[in-house]
Amino acid sequence: MTKQILFLQGNDVCVEAAIYAGVNFFAGYPITPATEIVERLAEQLPRKGGKFIQMEDEIASMCAIIGASLTGMKSMTATSGPGFSLKQEAIGYAVMAEIPCVIVNVQRGGPSTGMPTCVSQGDVMQARWGTHGDHAIITMTASNHQDVFATTVEAFNLAETYRTPVILLFDEVIGHMRERLIMPEPGEIPLIERLRTSVKEGTDYHPYLPRDDGRLPMSDFGGVHRFNVTGLVHDMWGFPSNNPNIAHGLMRHLVDKIENHVSEIAKVKEYYLDDADGILISYGSPARSARHVVENRRKRGIRLGLLELQTLWPFPAEKVRDLCSKAKYILVVELNMGQIMQEVKKAVEDPGKVFLANKIDGTFISPTDIRNIIRLIQGKGV
């Protein structure tokens, strides 16, 4: 059977993947460069029996997807920087109350209104620490449309597995670029459905009692079990508590359920790393230029490799350390002032060999830009 081949924008691919993953609720508010996601879902969801709503702002959108997800729906919202800022308080709520949902941020230049139509990766740290309080979060990204598809499906899978918000951090170039997508067949990418409790009606049910493996089999809100959900520190019944033991246990659970599974959650792509003297580390659209440089240099026998990060949070520090242990220099390629570079410095044995190739002016980083920085590192001059 020949596969369906589509030619789409990254934003459209994200929608196709979300539908493949079974999204049936979306709430959003239009914002460049994420608007196409909102529009396409407005059209697609009712055809699949799902529901779309344009809320009055991004705060409301985030709250609405949490409410819908609680009732059992696979829920998603999409936005860009200013809207992402507005969603932060409610993202923390989803962390605390353990509510699966997917938040897409198609990044544009910031801070503030910034450069609405221009590319940036300035929200990496906001994705990690945007909401207040200690917490763990999952954040993923992609550099091409096939990966946008796979990563979006994975985001839903991880949200359901760990009962947590998952952030998809795309960027303007990925969102608006048109590229080929080979549409995966139904069943080709496995889907993970929500773990639901097997406790029968009338039995004392503990909505917030995780299993030994950290997973939480929750009953759909509005179903046979009545329980309380709150953003306050709570016990296994979901009742607010100020008990230090309960608070400590909950905080550990919320962080450990993700941080203890970094090796299962975090994904990277490795290109020519085995014998590489120099390693580029990149993610999202800049990884395209980085890959171009690496392929080009390899043709000339130069031992350059690329480590493409597909998961940004939890940061795969051990993997980065292992893969970079033999490199003479590491060049992080990103469209911000070194947000991932700092993580790489923390991860590797010798932070002194970590350099940055970046752009913060709203333009895309080209292979030439990267090549020039490599020459500088090697003391060759541009």
Partner 1 sequence: MAVRDYIRERFMPHIWCPGCGHGIVMNTLIRAVENLGLRKNDIIMVSGIGCSARITGYLDFHTLHTLHGRALAFATGVKLGRPDLHIIVPMGDGDATAIGGNHFIHAARRNIDMTAIIMNNRIYGMTGGQYSPLSGYGRMATTAPYGNIDQAFDIVELAWSAGATFVARTTTYHAHDMVTILEKAIVHKGFSVVEVLSQCPTYYGRKNKLGDAVEMMKSYQKGTTPIGSNAKKQNPDLVERGIFVQEEKPEYCTEYEKIIQKVKGEKQR
**Is residue 364 within the footprint of partner 1 (CB under 8 A)?**
no
Radius of gyration of the chain (CA): 21
Beta bridge mates, 358: 334
Q: Which two tokens stand for residue 30?
A: 């239009």
Q: Which two tokens stand for residue 43?
A: 């059209």
Q: Which two tokens stand for residue 51?
A: 């529901």
Q: Which of residues 59-118 bind partner 1 (CB under 8 A)?
A: 59-61, 63-73, 75, 89-90, 93
Which residues have CB under 8 Å from 283's CB, separation 6+?
A: 121, 141, 143, 308, 309, 310, 312, 334, 340
Euclidean distance between the first and final Cα of the chain, in Å?
A: 51
**Is residue 41 within the footprint of partner 1 (CB under 8 A)?**
no
Q: Cβ distance 97 to 66 under 8 Å?
A: yes
Beta bridge mates, 354: 330
Q: How far is the CB of 353 from partner 1 (least distance, A)?
A: 45
**Is residue 239 within the footprint of partner 1 (CB under 8 A)?**
yes
**Is residue 237 within the footprint of partner 1 (CB under 8 A)?**
yes
* Cβ proximity to partner 1, 67 vs 116, nearer residue: 67
Distance CA 167, CA 119 (A): 18
Q: How far is the CB of 76 from partner 1 (least distance, A)?
A: 12
Which among 47-55, 187-195, 257-265, 324-332 is the span making contact with partner 1, rule CB under 8 A? 47-55
**Is residue 18 within the footprint of partner 1 (CB under 8 A)?**
no
Q: How far is the CB of 156 from partner 1 (least distance, A)?
A: 16
Which among 105-113, 120-128, 229-237, 299-307 is the span making contact with partner 1, rule CB under 8 A? 229-237
Cis omega (within 30 of 0) for bond into 314: yes
**Is residue 184 within the footprint of partner 1 (CB under 8 A)?**
no
Number of Cβ atoms within 10 Å of the Cβ of 151? 24
Number of Cβ atoms within 10 Å of the Cβ of 155? 26
The residue from 114, 184, 231, 362 that contacts partner 1 (CB under 8 A) is 231
Which is nearest to 278 in space by CA: 332, 317, 225, 318?
A: 332
Q: How far is the CB of 193 from partner 1 (least distance, A)?
A: 16
Q: Cβ distance 145 to 181 under 8 Å?
A: yes
Which among 41-49, 132-140, 152-160, 344-352 is the span making contact with partner 1, rule CB under 8 A? 41-49
Distance CA 190, CA 192 (A): 7
Which among 50-58, 79-87, 144-152, 175-183 is the span making contact with partner 1, rule CB under 8 A? 50-58
Number of Cβ atoms within 10 Å of the Cβ of 263? 10
Which among 29-37, 209-217, 230-238, 332-340 is the span making contact with partner 1, rule CB under 8 A? 230-238
Q: Which two tokens stand for residue 184?
A: 């995966």
Q: How far is the CB of 62 from partner 1 (least distance, A)?
A: 8
* Cβ proximity to partner 1, 89 vs 179, nearer residue: 89
**Is residue 376 within the footprint of partner 1 (CB under 8 A)?**
no
**Is residue 272 within the footprint of partner 1 (CB under 8 A)?**
no
Q: Cβ distance 175 to 11 under 8 Å?
A: yes
The residue from 22, 32, 39, 53 that contacts partner 1 (CB under 8 A) is 53
Q: Cβ distance 341 to 356 under 8 Å?
A: yes
Which among 108-116, 216-224, 286-294, 298-306 is the span making contact with partner 1, rule CB under 8 A? 216-224
Q: Which two tokens stand for residue 292?
A: 């171009």
Q: How far is the CB of 140 from partner 1 (least distance, A)?
A: 23
* Cβ proximity to partner 1, 4 vs 378, nearer residue: 4
Which of helix, strand or coil describes residue 354? strand
* Cβ proximity to partner 1, 68 vs 357, nearer residue: 68
**Is residue 166 within the footprint of partner 1 (CB under 8 A)?**
no
Contacts with partner 1 by CB under 8 A lie at: 25, 27, 43-44, 46-49, 51, 53, 55-57, 59-61, 63-73, 75, 89-90, 93, 221-222, 224, 226-232, 237, 239-240
